[in-house]
Structure 1
Amino acid sequence: MKELICKIKRKLRTCFVSKLYENYRIYPLIYRSYWHSLFYSIKNEIDTNNYLTALINNGAGIGHQLAGWNSGLWWSKYFGMHHAYIGFSNSAWDKFLGLKGVDPNIKELKKQGYIVRRLPKFDEFKPKEVQLVTNIIKSYTHKKVVFVCEQDQPYLSQIGTMANLQARFYSSESRKEDRLVYDKHNFNIAIHVRRGDIMLDSSNPNLTIRYLSNDYFEKVLSQVVAHVSTDKPIHIYFFSQGKPEDYSEFTKFNNLHWCLDMGAIDSFMHMVYADLLITSKSSFSYKPALLNRGIKVCPENFWHGYPDSEDWIMVDNDGNVKWKQ
């Protein structure tokens, strides 16, 4: 019952913050930290001994949750502070991703005398909003503070944390537990075809913008198989939901392996370790792409960013792969 009440409170607060955020002149007034900045000096430098983190949307999928976690990490570095750890709704993901235990959590910091202060949500592309939060943080110089960004605090690009995420992932003790169905003697292609929730309501624009047809993926995969230069046999691992007969367009490919019933963590892991990963318009394959050290083939019309490097290959809306020289 206590957990249910906490969930209801978080949901109500999120709705309240989102609604009030629409009027930014009034919105910051609900924050104790904002009032603090009105009465204390903001001419100081930011105290680099303090911490920052961001609340995670525990009701969302792991891709969305990791985006929120990345936001906290990014803004902590942006403001020149340490990062405080907040865990996922399923602790198995914390262990798998190698994120737990690297940074102190809020409970540990409170025992060390740190106070916790919420920050108003801000638009990273609106300098006035970023400056307001900067002023709030500066007003707490010489005090021990953990700043907490609101749930879904925007950080659109997501790629600024990629090196940090890779370092944590690959150095984690959890890597000793990884078990792959791939054969290292093959060139292993993972393709993620997002279905599930985007098939539930064709009238929902938030879902339809994420939809890519079977024909799109078949066209992309055909180009990839024809273009890849390798002495190894090519094997294809198909990650999605449903039944093989839902994807008859792909039966022409040799060495095709259906991964329709594989669990979320195992699917994520195989996308990370693929020699080549074909992603959907989905955070669930975009996040493994950030960790993947092979080739990533991705839809260019996506809401998060991509590094400008040779191992990231873009695909247009018609499924044409834009190979780099």
Structure 2
Amino acid sequence: MVRENIFAMLSKIKSRLWSKIVVKFRYTSFYPFLYNSYWHYKLNKNNVFNLTDSNYYSAIPNRGAGVGHQLANWNAGYWYAHYFGLKFSHTPFSTKSWEDFLGFGEDEVQTELLLNTKGYTAVRLPLFDENKREEIELTKRIIHSYKNKKVVFIAEQDQFYKEQFGVCDAIKKKFYAALAREKNQLVYDENVYNVAIHIRRGDITIGQKKGNTNHIMRWQDNNYFEHVLNNVLKHINTDKEVKIYLFSQGNLNDFKSFIGYKNLTFCLDMSGQDSFLHMVYADLLITSKSSFSYKPALLNNGIKVCPRDFWHSYPSEKDWIIAEEDGTFNSEQIKKLDEYYTGKHTQKL
């Protein structure tokens, strides 16, 4: 046990040092030189390889981040595997509870199995900017240089993929078919129209007060969510009773302005997984500038009302409504909302 703890500690130290090196050199011409895979390409770029490719691509969900962040990593791995013409292998989320809850790896080849029993070797790839052609082309050439070997390409930690909705169909299929769905326990009433609001607080509240630039960028006060909710309630068209569920952290004193809303339930003590599940199954979901509500929005089959300024993109679909900083959405978006919302569209619980 002592030996295992020492090994785990050394592994964490190594990861942190490597992360600092990547940050320091990422935007320098020296950066690719840090990777053995780059040198492999340089030494083999003139070789002719068998065009049959049985290699894999995987991304490691960031062990030190929340599940929204980890899902962004996983989605990026899934997307780029197909983009580069490789097979995808699954690397689990940081905790077994989230791994089982999401079920994304239930029908996938496991990275650990390939490396430990199938004779594959892990090869780390440099970070690339998906909008820079030269960096994409370099990654393709590195991958091609391994055509004659059994390799699992590992994305560098937090390889970015902006348009996360590109994997919507695949992850919806996985999530709704997961074994954990048999254990779903929702407080929603299928006979009413269920509106969910996610207001990010917790760590972001502390960071915003301390002047943390990253947290300030993500901060939205209660007024924004009230304005969005008022506009939603004004323009949805249903014969059903509307019930509202507010998901956040803190206590009632932090959300006094919402107390007067009819049929509003505060879900401030609900677990992360239960909150995530309810956001997925809401008939209408109001998201915040947070990966923790953006990812359920990708899985949600209802209407999503989302803040315009966010680090991931939204699809140009009628069930995605984009709100301005003041909580309003324009007349065209309101029209789309009215047309889409008919009452028959209620999610199946």
**Normalising by the residue count of structure 1, what TM-score does the alignment of the two structures yield?**
0.96
2:106 aligns to what? Answer: 101
1:183 equivalent among 186, 189, 203: 189
Residues 298 and 313 of structure 1 are in contact (CA less than 8 Å); yes or no, is this contact kept in structure 2?
Answer: yes
Residue 84 of structure 1 aligns to a residue whose secondary structure is: strand
Question: Is 1:50 matched with 2:55?
Answer: yes
Residue 7 of structure 1: how far off its partner (Å): 1.9
Matches within 5 A, 1:1-325: 1=5, 2-23=7-28, 25-41=29-45, 47-110=52-115, 111-202=117-208, 203-322=211-330, 323-325=334-336
Alpha-carbon distance, 1:142 to partner: 2.7
Deviation at 1:41, TM superposition (A): 3.7
Task: Report how far residue 56 of structure 1 moved.
Answer: 2.1
How far apart are the structure 2 equivalents of 1:147 and 1:181? 42
What is the deviation of 1:245?
Answer: 2.2
* Match of residue 344 from structure 2: none
State whether residues 192 and 242 of structure 2, in contact with CA within 8 Å, keep that contact through their aligned partners in structure 1. yes
Query: Following the alignment from structure 1 to structure 2, what is the Cα–Cα distance between the partners of residues 229 and 77?
Result: 40
Task: Please give the secondary structure, in 1, of the residue aligned with 2:58.
Answer: strand
Cα-to-partner distance string for 1:81-136 (whole Å, 9 max, x where unaligned) = 11111111111111111112322222211211212111111111111111111100
Describe the SS at the equivalent of 1:236.
strand
- After superposition, the Cα gap between the structure-2 partners of 1:292 and 1:319, relative to the gap in structure 1 and judged at 3 Å, is same
Residue 271 (structure 1) shift: 0.2
Structure 2 distance, partners of 1:107, 1:302, is 34
Q: Give 2:107's aligned amino acid.
A: V
Unaligned runs of 5+ in 1: none
Shift of 1:45: 8.1
Counterpart contact for 1:46–1:137, Cα < 8 Å: no
Amino acid at match of 2:245: Y
Q: Which amino acid aligns with 1:78?
A: Y
Amino acid at match of 2:197: I
Q: Shift of residue 44 of structure 1? A: 5.5
Shift of 1:316: 0.5
Shift of 1:46: 6.5
Taking the aligned partners of 2:233 and 2:76, their CA distance within structure 1 comes to: 35
| Alignment: residue pair count | 324
Q: Secondary structure at the match of 1:267?
A: helix
Alpha-carbon contact 2:60-2:92 (below 8 Å) kept: no
| Cα distance between partner residues in 1 of 2:41 and 2:13 | 30
User: What is the rounded CA distance, in whole Å, between the counterparts of 1:47 and 1:154 in structure 2?
Assistant: 28
CA RMSD of superposed structures (Å): 1.5
TM-score normalized with structure 2 length? 0.89
Measured in 1, the distance between the counterparts of 2:234 and 2:9 equals 52
Which is further off, 93-102 or 298-307?
A: 93-102
Equivalent-residue separation in structure 2 for 1:164 and 1:249 (angstroms): 39
Give aligned-pair identity as a percent: 47
Write the letter of the residue equivalent to 2:69. H
Q: Distance in 2 between matches of 1:167 and 1:189?
A: 23
Q: 2:321, 2:329 within 8 Å by CA — same for their partners in 1? A: yes
In 2, are the aligned partners of 1:47 and 1:138 still within 8 Å (CA)?
no
Q: Counterparts of 1:18 and 1:247 in 2: how far apart (Å)?
A: 38
Distance 1:266 1:78 in 2: 33
